[in-house]
Amino acid sequence: MSQLPDFTRARVVVAGDVMLDRYWSGSASRISPEAPVPVVQINADRTQAGGAANVALNLAALGVQTHLLGVVGDDEPAQLLAQRVTDAGIDAQFTPSPDYPTITKLRVMSRNQQVIRLDFEMSLAEPGAFDRAAFTAQFRAQVQQADAVILSDYGKGTLSDVASLIAICRAAGKPVTVDPKGRDYARYTGATLLTPNMAELEAVVGPCPDEATLVAKATQLMGELQLFALLVTRSEKGMSLLRPHREPLHLPTVAREVYDVTGAGDTVIATLTAALAAGSDLETATRLSNLAAGVTVGKLGAATVTPAELQAQLTPDGPASSESLLMAEDALLQWVEARRTRGQRIVMTNGCFDLLHVGHLRYLEQARALGDALIVAVNSDDSVRRLKGPTRPLNAAADRMRVLAGLKCVDAVVEFGEDTPARLIGRVLPQVLVKGGDYTVEQVAGHDVVEAAGGQTVILNFHDGYSTTATIQRAQQP
Ligand SMILES: Nc1ncnc2c1ncn2[C@@H]1O[C@H](COP(=O)(O)OP(=O)(O)O)[C@@H](O)[C@H]1O
Ligand SMILES: O=P(O)(O)OC[C@@H](O)[C@H]1O[C@@H](OP(=O)(O)O)[C@@H](O)[C@@H](O)[C@@H]1O
C-alpha cells in the first residue's frame, strides 16, 4: 500500500470525555520568596481541545467527517472548547451540565516543560450530572449515519453506561472502537476493538513482564470480552495487535524523534478508526495508526497528523546515497516497518561477502527479484574469523558493507556479530529468506522463525566456478 485511504469519504462519530487543554507559559527565572517553588511569569495563554475532543481533532485533521458528542459545563472553558472544535470543522453536540465544570487541564509551562498541571473536574458519573437520556438519543441518531464509532473513555463519567452505547452500535451494525479506562472491562464487552496502553491493560490483567505473557493475558481478555481485536499500545515499544486465532502483530515504533507523548493514544484510535471507516483492512489501519503516532510524539502537546504528513511516512525519500543503506539494527527495523506498511515484500539474505564476485552479484539480483526490497546481513570481522579462520576477512566489515550498499539490487545492509544471523532474522521476520545453493533449507539460520511467521525460505541455484576462497588461492599461486 503506497496510497492512503480516502479519509474524506469516512464519517466517524466520537463520544466521550471531552476536555479543554490549557497552557499558561512564561519564564521561570526565580524561586518564590514565600515558598521553595518556581515563579512563572505568564505571558501566553493557549487552549486546545483535549481528551475525546482531541480524538475528534485528529479525525478532522485527516479530513474525516467528524461528529463529536460530549458533556460540558456552563463556563468559559465550554465556549473555548466549542470554538476550537468548530474551527476544525467538527460537528459537535455538547450536552450541558450546568452545575459541573467543563473538564479542564491547566498546564503551567516554562521552557516547554510542565511546571505543574491543575485539573478542574468533578465526576460526571453522578446521577443528575447531565441528561443521560438526551445524550444517548443524540448518540443513537448519529450512529445510524456513521461508518464507525469511537468511544473515548477517560473515566470521567460521560460513558459510565458504555455497555448500552456499544449495544446501540452493534444493533446498527457499526464498528465501535474503545479507548478504555478503569478496571471494569466487562462493560466493554462486544466492542469491535479496544486500545488500552500497557499500564491500562496491566491494571486489568496484572503484570506482563514479557511479550509472551502480554499475548497470553491479552488473548484471554479478548475472548472474555468477545472482541474482534485488541490493540495494546506500548509507548516506546510500539504496539501489538491481537486477533482471535491469528498470530500477534508486533509493530515497533517508527518515531524518529520523541518530544511529547501526550495524546499519542488519541492519535492511534483516531487514525485506526478513520482508516477502517475509509475501507482499509485492520492490519493496514493499525500500521497507519503506528505511523501517525510516530509523527505526533514528535510534536509538543496533544497533536494531530495531516494526510500529507502520513503520506510522507509512506513515500520513500528521494534517491538515497548508497551510504545511507548502511543501517544499525534498530534503524533497520523502522525501515522494514515503513516498507511493510506500504505493502512491500521484504527479502533477506546474509553472508561474509569478503571479495565480491559475479556469483554473489547474480545471486543477490535473483534474491532481490523475489520481493520489493533486499536486506543483506553481513558477518562482523570477528564472526568471519570464527567461521573461516584467522586470515579472513581480507576486507573489514565497513568496506564489505559499503561495497554491497553500492549494488543496485541491495536496499539495506546491516552487520551481525554472532556466528549466525538467526536472532536478527527473528527481529526482521522477512517474508522471504534466501541463501545460495550450498545450503539446504534446514541449514539456513532463522528459517524456522521466518516460516512460523508465514514467510518462506528460498535456496537459489549455485553458480559454479565463482568463490572467494578460490580467488584468494589463485592470487597466491606464483
Ligand atoms: N516514547 C515513545 N517513543 C516512541 N513512540 C512512542 C512513545 N510513546 C508513545 N509512542 C507511540 O504512541 C503510541 C501510543 O502511546 P502509548 O503511550 O502506548 O499510549 P497512550 O498515549 O494512550 O498512553 C505507541 O504505540 C507508539 O506508537
Ligand atoms: O486522564 P487524565 O490525566 O485525567 O486526563 C487526560 C490528560 O492526561 C490528557 O490525555 C491525553 O491523552 P493520552 O492519555 O496521553 O493519550 C490527551 O487527551 C490530552 O488532551 C489530555 O489532556
Q: Is the CB of 48 under 6 A from ligand 2?
A: no
User: So what's the pLDDT on residue 191?
Assistant: 98
Write out pLDDT tens, residues 165-224: 999 999 999 999 999 999 999 999 999 999 999 999 999 999 999 999 999 999 999 999
Write down the ipTM of this complex.
0.93
Kindly state the average pLDDT of the residues 69-83: 98
Tell me the C-alpha distance between 100 and 103, whole Å.
8
Q: Is the CB of 275 under 6 A from ligand 2?
A: no
Write out pLDDT tens, residues 250-280: 999 988 778 788 899 999 999 999 999 999 9
Identify the residue whose C-alpha is closest to ligand 2 atom 2. 154
Active site residues: 266
Of 59, 103, 107, 266, the residue with max ligand 2 atoms within 8 A of its CB, to mutate for a pocket test, comes to: 266
* 1 carries a ligand binding annotation: no
**Which carries the bigger pLDDT value, residue 111 or residue 364?**
364
User: So what's the pLDDT on residue 210?
Assistant: 94
294 CA → ligand 1 middle, Å: 8
* DSSP result, 342-407: TTPPEEEEEE--SS--HHHHHHHHHHHTTSSEEEEEEE-HHHHHHHH-TT--SS-HHHHHHHHHTS
Q: Which is the closest atom of ligand 1 to the Cα of 195?
A: 22
Q: Is the CB of 196 under 6 A from ligand 2?
A: no
Q: Is the CB of 239 under 6 A from ligand 1?
A: yes
Which ligand lies nearest to the CA atom of residue 302 in the structure?
A: 2
* DSSP result, 144-190: HT-SEEEEE--SSSTTTTHHHHHHHHHHTT--EEEE--SS-GGGGTT
396 CA → ligand 2 middle, Å: 51
Q: Is the CB of 17 under 6 A from ligand 2?
A: no
> CA nearest 248: which of 222, 277, 274?
222
> CA nearest 426: which of 333, 290, 352, 363?
333
CATH 3.40.50.620 residue ranges in the chain?
A: 322-476
Task: Give the β-pairing of 229-233 and 432-435.
Answer: unpaired
Residue 315 has pLDDT above 90, yes or no: no
Q: What are 372's three cell numbers?
A: 520489493
Q: Is the CB of 19 under 6 A from ligand 2?
A: yes
User: So what's the pLDDT on residue 404?
Assistant: 96
Q: Which range has the worst mean pLDDT, 3-7, 69-73, 85-89?
A: 3-7
Q: Is the CB of 302 under 6 A from ligand 2?
A: yes
Q: Which is the closest atom of ligand 1 to the Cα of 239?
A: 25
Tell me the C-alpha distance between 378 and 421, whole Å.
9
CATH of segment(s) 7-29+36-314:
3.40.1190.20
Residue 464 has pLDDT above 80, yes or no: no
Residue 1 has pLDDT above 70, yes or no: no
Of all residues in the chain, what percent carry a pLDDT higher than 70?
A: 97
User: So what's the pLDDT on residue 316?
Assistant: 59
* 203 carries a ligand binding annotation: no
**Which carries the bigger pLDDT value, residue 439 or residue 435?**
435
Write out pLDDT tens, residues 49-71: 999 999 999 999 999 999 999 99
CATH of segment(s) 322-476:
3.40.50.620
The C-alpha angle 338, 270, 143, rounded to 5 degrees, equals 140
Tell me the C-alpha distance between 285 and 138, whole Å.
28
Cβ atoms 355, 471 nearer than 8 A:
yes
* 198 carries a ligand binding annotation: yes
CATH 3.40.1190.20 residue ranges in the chain?
A: 7-29+36-314
296 CA → ligand 1 middle, Å: 9
Tell me the C-alpha distance between 318 and 58, whole Å.
28
**Which carries the bigger pLDDT value, residue 28 or residue 259?**
28
DSSP for residue 54: H
Contacts of 232 (CB under 8 A, 6+ apart): 195, 196, 197, 198, 201, 214, 218, 239, 240, 242
Residue 477 has pLDDT above 90, yes or no: no
pLDDT band at residue 418 under the 50/70/90 scheme: very high
Of 59, 105, 158, the residue with max ligand 2 atoms within 8 A of its CB, to mutate for a pocket test, comes to: 105
Q: Which is the closest atom of ligand 2 to the Cα of 265?
A: 16
207 CA → ligand 1 middle, Å: 18
- At residue 195, what is the residue type? T
Q: What are 146's three cell numbers?
A: 456513521
User: So what's the pLDDT on residue 298?
Assistant: 85
Of all residues in the chain, what percent carry a pLDDT higher than 90?
A: 81
* DSSP result, 213-258: HHHHHHHHHHHHTT-SEEEEE-GGG-EEEE-TTS--EEE----S--
Kindly state the average pLDDT of the residues 418-441: 91
**Which carries the bigger pLDDT value, residue 388 or residue 301?**
388
Identify the residue whose C-alpha is closest to ligand 2 atom 11. 263
Of 21, 261, 295, the residue with max ligand 1 atoms within 8 A of its CB, to mutate for a pocket test, comes to: 261
Tell me the C-alpha distance between 15 and 159, whole Å.
8
User: So what's the pLDDT on residue 374?
Assistant: 97
Residue 364 has pLDDT above 70, yes or no: yes
Tell me the C-alpha distance between 153 and 160, whole Å.
9
Cβ atoms 425, 399 nearer than 8 A:
no
Cβ atoms 112, 301 nearer than 8 A:
no
457 CA → ligand 1 middle, Å: 34
Residue 319 has pLDDT above 70, yes or no: no
Cβ atoms 414, 353 nearer than 8 A:
no
* 218 carries a ligand binding annotation: no
User: So what's the pLDDT on residue 236?
Assistant: 92
Q: Is the CB of 255 under 6 A from ligand 1?
A: yes
- What are the angstrom distances between the C-alpha of 85 and each of 90, 144, 156, 244? 5, 22, 20, 37
Q: Is the CB of 262 under 6 A from ligand 2?
A: yes
Which ligand lies nearest to the CA atom of residue 58 in the structure?
A: 2
**E strand or H helix that includes residue 473:** helix 468-476
